[in-house]
Chains A and B, each alone.
Chain A
Amino acid sequence: MSWCWLALVDAAAVSADAQARVYERDGSAAGWLAAWRRRHRPTRDARRIDARIVDPSGDGAWVSLVRPPEGVRLPFDDLAVQQARRAALAGRPFDGVSTLLRDASHFEGAITVARGAGAERRLADDPFCRVFRARILRVDGGLLGRVAPPCGPTIERYGSAQPWPWDRYAVS
């Protein structure tokens, strides 16, 4: 599958295919980030992401988790979201990036993954945090992998139900 579900949940999810504990910048617990590879939505807050960034053998990482405020919906083709995708392609690549979707027409946030020296600081430049506020979180190993950046320069989705940057029509 080209996509899977991702949600930030309070406790470990028995049904998740991969998950990891999550911490705020001050080290306090922030719950679990969980991923499910299935068709039906596992929780109310789950959103579709590019499945390539999920890797149960992945190392711990810092993430920028961008979500719209409660009740706010922004078209995926909004100019600000287009520009964030351009900026993601133009800049130094992160270890992984995916937009968050629930339906075929709305941008419902993004997750950007960074590792290494200065990773937390680099995430302040996550282009999607210019659209909605980001939470910078530390995620344990076991959930997020490292994915080579998109070839570019495509900013469009390959089918409106696909999270960007999934980059081909043929889906196995």
Chain B
Amino acid sequence: MSFLDFSLLDHARNTRRLSELAGGDPVILQFFRGWWCPKEQAFFRKLVALQDEAEVAYCRMVSVSVDPPEVSAAFRAGLGARWTFLSDPERSVQEQLRLRETTDTVNHPYVPAVFTLFADLTVHRLYDGYWFWGRPTLEELRQDMRHITRAIRPDWEAPTP
């Protein structure tokens, strides 16, 4: 199954398409409720730790919420995140993906979810994070990135003399 190739504004108000953000690399695509949710804050601390490996491993990370770009930029800066945050305040992509958290009738946020994607946006794995323990551990994300990277890099096995 291929993921919807949506376009949204990033934290700096640039219009970004998911396929363009993926480039030729595996992607960790995260949908989150908002900066105000303690579960999200706890999960982001894990992702921020993972970026120290991801930054040298040729993969991409993208986080999406209904927060406007200015709020996303502030949250991103506060976290120390160095990947792209996308904003869907109109909830247009949320509706297309059917990822609205129906039990929150105040904020109408994304239901927490993580998708690991191949570079062509083929879905490798989905994690439903409505309950915190449904979210991927860092080890699961590492395994997913290993699986995808092995599949897409023709030189996964190092050339030998």
Contact = CB atoms under 8 A, between A and B. Distances in A.
Interface of A: 86, 89-93, 148-149, 151-156, 158, 167-170
B84 to A, nearest CB: 5
B77 A155 contact: no
Interface string B62-78: 10000000000100010
B24 A168 contact: yes
A61 to B, nearest CB: 16
Contact of B60 (A151, A155, A170): A151
A170 B59 CA distance: 15
Nearest to A146: B14
Given A89-B83, A149-B84, 4 more contacts: A151-B21, A151-B62, A169-B24, A170-B24
* Interface size class, chain B: 20 to 34
Contact of A152 (B24, B56, B57, B83): B83
A158 B82 contact: no
B151 to A, nearest CB: 15
B82 A156 contact: no
Contact residues of A: prevailing secondary structure: loop
Contacts of A89: 82-83
A167 B119 CA distance: 13
Contacts of B22: 151
A156 B14 contact: no
A151 B138 CA distance: 20
Which one of A86, A148, A151, A169 has the greatest number of beta carbons of chain B within 10 Å?
Answer: A151
A158 B58 contact: yes
B70 to A, nearest CB: 11
B125 to A, nearest CB: 20
Nearest to B15: A148
Given A168-B23, A169-B24, A170-B24, A152 B60 contact: yes
Interface string B86-99: 00000000000000
Contact of A92 (B12, B23, B58, B61): B12
A151 B83 contact: yes
A170 B152 CA distance: 12
Contact of A86 (B14, B24, B55): B55
A153 B51 CA distance: 6
A148 B16 contact: yes
A154 B54 contact: yes
29 contacts: A86-B82, A89-B83, A90-B82, A92-B12, A148-B10, A148-B16, A149-B10, A149-B14, A151-B21, A151-B23, A151-B61, A151-B84, A152-B55, A152-B60, A152-B61, A152-B81, A152-B83, A153-B55, A153-B81, A154-B25, A154-B54, A154-B57, A154-B58, A154-B59, A154-B60, A155-B55, A156-B58, A168-B23, A169-B24
B134 interface: no
A168 B20 CA distance: 11
A87 to B, nearest CB: 9
Interface string B2-25: 000000001010101000011111
